[in-house]
Amino acid sequence: MRIALGSDERSRLTDFVEAELRRRGYDVELFGPPAGDSSPWPDVAKAVAERVAQGKSDEGVLFCWTGTGVSIAANKVPGIRAALCADAETARGARAWNQANVLCMSLAGTSEEVAGGILDAWFSAEADASEEENVQKVNELDRRYRTPLGARPAASAEKGNKT
């Protein structure tokens, strides 16, 4: 399995997660400072999310200080279901019930021990078939509200708002 891993800064946590993924036998592709590049978090999130959306990586793992920014940015890429996970149970649920494909974690709030548990839960969870209808409803929301690059959403145009 190929994992795209990115962060806006290299840290003990990113090094730990990279090493842990490799130890588990995953092929890891690095983005941002872990790869030696200086990149802001939106760019790192975009790069990782695009790799997953294009099928060039099977899953993604992203980090920023809180994990929120990379989660928001990655979710802008069609086909991405990025989940900010602070514990193993959230990671398990994100995979089982939401079919998340990009794991986001906080550099500030995640210990190596907790990250190991999150990885265990994320990679061992299987999709819960009873949630398929809900997953399809989210897919429909994604299709309905995506706008072509540069297009103004209807609600903003109607209100005369600038985007």
- Of 44, 47, 49, 64, the catalytic one is 64
Q: What is the Cα Rg of the chain in Å?
A: 16
The pTM of the full predicted model, rounded to 2 decimals, is 0.88
Task: Please check the confidence at residue 145 and state whether its pLDDT lies above 90.
Answer: no
**Tens digit of each residue's pLDDT (9 = 90 or more) over 43-102:** 999 999 999 999 999 999 999 999 999 999 999 999 999 999 999 999 999 999 999 999
Domains of the chain in start order, with CATH, are 2-127 (3.40.1400.10), 130-163 (no CATH)
**Tens digit of each residue's pLDDT (9 = 90 or more) over 129-138:** 999 999 999 9
Q: Give ∠ CA 23-27-9 in degrees, rounded to 5.
A: 85
64 in active site: yes
Instruction: Give Cα 148 to chain centroid, integer Å.
Output: 22
Burial class (CB in 10 A: 0-12, 13-18, 19+), 162: exposed
Q: How many Å apart are CA 44 and CA 63, to the nearest integer? A: 9
